[in-house]
Structure 1
Amino acid sequence: MNSQASYQGQCLCGAVRFSVSGEPAAMGYCHCQSCRHWSAGPVNAFTLWPKEAVEVTQGAEHIGRYNKTPQSTRQWCKACGGHLFTEHPDMALVDVYAALIPAFAFSPGVHVHYQEAVLRIKDGLPKWRDVPENLGGSGISLAE
Structure 2
Amino acid sequence: MNTERSYNGSCFCGAVGFTVTGNPEAMGYCHCESCRHWSAGPVNAFTLWKPDAVTVTTGSEHIGTYNKTPGSSRKWCTKCGGHLMTDHPTMGLTDVYAAVIPDFRHQPSVHVHYQESVLPIHDGVLKLKDTPAEMGGTGIHMAE
Cross-structure match for 2:117: 117
Output the CA distance in 2 between the equivalents of 1:57 and 1:42. 30
Can you give the 5+ residue segments of structure 1 that lack an aligned partner in the other structure?
none
Q: What amino acid sits opposite 2:52 in the alignment?
A: E
* TM-score when normalising by structure 1: 0.99
RMSD: 0.5
Output the CA distance in 2 between the equivalents of 1:132 and 1:94. 17
Pairing 1:126-137 to 2, within 5 Å after superposition: 126-137=126-137
Cross-structure match for 2:24: 24
**Which contiguous aligned blocks of 4+ residues in structure 1 show a shift greater than 3 angstroms?**
none
Q: What amino acid sits opposite 2:122 in the alignment?
A: K
The reply to whether residue 64 of structure 1 matches residue 64 of structure 2 is: yes
Cross-structure match for 2:108: 108
Question: How far 1:118 moved relative to its partner?
Answer: 0.2
String of CA shifts for 1:77-130, please: whole Å, max 9, x gaps.
000000000000011100000011111111011000000000000111110111
SS at match of 1:37: helix
Cross-structure match for 1:76: 76
Output the CA distance in 2 between the equivalents of 1:92 and 1:105. 23
Output the CA distance in 1 between the equivalents of 2:108 and 2:143. 17
Can you give the 5+ residue segments of structure 2 that lack an aligned partner in the other structure?
none
Question: How far 1:141 moved relative to its partner?
Answer: 1.1
The reply to whether residue 51 of structure 1 matches residue 47 of structure 2 is: no
Output the CA distance in 2 between the equivalents of 1:91 and 1:52. 14
Cross-structure match for 1:138: 138
Q: What amino acid sits opposite 1:138 in the alignment?
A: T
* TM-score when normalising by structure 2: 0.99
Q: What amino acid sits opposite 2:99 in the alignment?
A: A
Output the CA distance in 2 between the equivalents of 1:130 and 1:61. 35
Paired-residue identity, %: 66
Question: How far 1:18 moved relative to its partner?
Answer: 0.0
Output the CA distance in 2 between the equivalents of 1:66 and 1:141. 31
Question: How far 1:135 moved relative to its partner?
Answer: 0.9
